[in-house]
């Protein structure tokens, strides 16, 4: 193995040249995919709710309040969970947040990305406790009091038990979730002609629940219930591209350039060692030995290039955030995946270049 390492420095200019090429390629690919992933997650966040939920639209004979309707639901089956639609909250001038009530909705971890803290317990979600899950874009409204975090909603204090969102952009960044029974009075006690709720998708299998809710409710005020399966939004990738077209055209060009550079630099490097590999083959080296050499040397080159590309990625995060006017975080897994792809592509390209040498049989030619 030491010999393989020494051979990298037989032609140091070639080694530096290929490391530079790999560094540029890995950086371009990681920056491009990181930007795309950031916006893809932003637009795709809503699909997690659509995938896990169904909707039920309740129409009433006489207008009723959300509070009265929740009482009916609790009497029917307090174990069933749901979420309300969003209610607009004017936080500041030209700044709006969206308030959503939660009642015993299970598996919230499948829907919301939890940045810190925790979700509600079942007991908390069916109570009127003043607690909240707050979107990360509203974190500046959170304040400390008695070593606990709080946020004011319509003049009332709510303890913040969790922060929803990611290090990057999130659809839920401007949402606040609180137990349904702790919704502000002007929402909870106002009369509505109809109320739409979101239930876990498995409620579609319990059609009798909605029939019984309509027929057995104490005041017989429910006129109709329309239950619908929710469809996920499609074309997320195309929307990401179209909403930031100039940026992504440039990124697509840089990614294409990165792939081409990987092929060019790996071809240059492999071709420069072709004579050395051929001599080893003539002197009796088998294909496994040559393959080991390629693997070992390429691992060193890719690892070194990935580290430099990662440092460049961190150094240019502020520039990228300014470019897209959003938060972007360093993604180590992304760089590792790109490095693995670069390594695989380079090895395959090198084996293609050496295919004639690898097929060469010295003993056959001696005979």
The residue among 365 and 222 whose pLDDT is bigger is: 222
| H runs (alpha helix) in the chain | 2-7, 12-52, 66-76, 122-125, 185-188, 207-216, 236-243, 245-272, 274-282, 287-315, 317-324, 332-353, 355-359, 362-366
Residue 256's pLDDT is what? 78
124-to-82, 116, 152, 186, 250 alpha-carbon distances in Å: 14, 18, 18, 21, 49
The residue among 46 and 317 whose pLDDT is bigger is: 46
Structure confidence at residue 109 as a pLDDT band (50, 70, 90): confident
Report, as an integer, the average pLDDT of 79-107: 88
Q: How far apart are CA 129 and CA 126, in angstroms?
A: 9
Structure confidence at residue 130 as a pLDDT band (50, 70, 90): very high
Report, as an integer, the average pLDDT of 201-229: 78
Q: How far apart are CA 261 and CA 298, in angstroms?
A: 16
Residue 151's pLDDT is what? 94
Residue 134's pLDDT is what? 95
Decide if pLDDT at 367 tops 60: no
Residue 230 structure tokens: 């929710």
Residue 84's pLDDT is what? 93
Decide if pLDDT at 364 tops 50: no
Decide if pLDDT at 131 tops 70: yes
Q: How far apart are CA 321 and CA 241, in angstroms?
A: 17
Decide if pLDDT at 132 tops 80: yes
35-84 pLDDT per residue, tens = 777 778 888 888 888 888 899 899 988 898 998 888 888 877 778 889 99
Report, as an integer, the average pLDDT of 251-273: 73
Decide if pLDDT at 273 tops 80: no
Decide if pLDDT at 223 tops 70: yes
3-state secondary structure 202-225: HHHHCHHHHHHHHHHCCCCCEEEE
Decide if pLDDT at 248 tops 80: no
| Mean pLDDT, the chain, integer | 80
23-37 pLDDT per residue, tens = 888 887 777 777 777
Q: How far apart are CA 93 and CA 113, in angstroms?
A: 28
pTM for the full predicted model? 0.70
Report, as an integer, the average pLDDT of 82-103: 88
Decide if pLDDT at 14 tops 90: no
The residue among 343 and 273 whose pLDDT is bigger is: 343
- Pick from 55-64, 198-207, 216-225: least confident: 216-225
Decide if pLDDT at 2 tops 70: no
Highest mean pLDDT among 207-211, 212-216, 222-226, 323-327: 222-226
Residue 45's pLDDT is what? 86
Report, as an integer, the average pLDDT of 92-104: 88
Residue 207's pLDDT is what? 67
155-199 pLDDT per residue, tens = 899 999 999 988 777 889 899 999 999 999 989 999 999 999 999
Percentage of the chain modeled with pLDDT above 70: 80
């Amino acid at each position: 193995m030491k010999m393989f390492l020494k051979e990298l420095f037989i032609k140091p200019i070639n080694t530096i040249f290929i490391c530079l090429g790999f560094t540029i390629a890995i950086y371009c690919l990681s920056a491009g995919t990181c930007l795309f992933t950031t916006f893809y997650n932003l637009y795709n966040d809503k699909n997690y709710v659509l995938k896990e939920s169904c909707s039920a639209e309740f129409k009433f004979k006489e207008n009723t309040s959300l509070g009265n309707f929740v009482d009916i639901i609790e009497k029917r089956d307090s174990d069933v969970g749901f979420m309300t639609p969003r209610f607009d909250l004017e936080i500041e001038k030209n700044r709006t947040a969206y308030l959503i009530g939660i009642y015993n909705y299970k598996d919230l971890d499948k829907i919301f990305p939890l940045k810190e803290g925790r979700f509600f317990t079942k007991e908390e979600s069916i109570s009127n406790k003043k607690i909240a899950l707050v979107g990360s874009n509203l974190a500046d409204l959170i304040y400390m009091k008695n070593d606990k975090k709080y946020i004011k909603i319509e003049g009332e204090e709510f303890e913040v038990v969790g922060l929803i969102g990611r290090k990057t952009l999130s659809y839920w960044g401007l949402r606040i979730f609180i137990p349904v029974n702790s919704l502000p009075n002007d929402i909870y006690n106002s009369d509505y002609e109809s109320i739409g709720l979101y239930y876990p998708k498995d409620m579609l299998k319990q059609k009798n629940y909605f029939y019984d809710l309509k027929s057995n409710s104490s005041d017989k005020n429910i006129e109709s219930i329309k239950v619908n399966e929710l469809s996920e939004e499609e074309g997320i990738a195309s929307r990401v591209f179209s909403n930031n077209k100039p940026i992504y055209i440039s990124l697509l060009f840089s990614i294409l350039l990165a792939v081409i550079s990987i092929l060019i630099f790996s071809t240059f490097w492999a071709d420069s060692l072709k004579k050395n590999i051929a001599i080893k083959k003539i002197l009796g080296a088998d294909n496994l030995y040559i393959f080991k050499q390629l693997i070992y040397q390429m691992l060193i080159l890719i690892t070194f290039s990935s580290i430099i590309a990662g440092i460049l990625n961190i150094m240019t995060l502020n520039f990228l955030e300014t470019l897209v006017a959003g938060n972007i975080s360093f993604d180590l897994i992304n760089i590792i995946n790109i490095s693995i792809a670069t390594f695989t592509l380079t090895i395959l390209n090198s084996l293609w270049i050496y295919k004639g040498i690898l097929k060469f049989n010295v003993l056959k030619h001696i005979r």
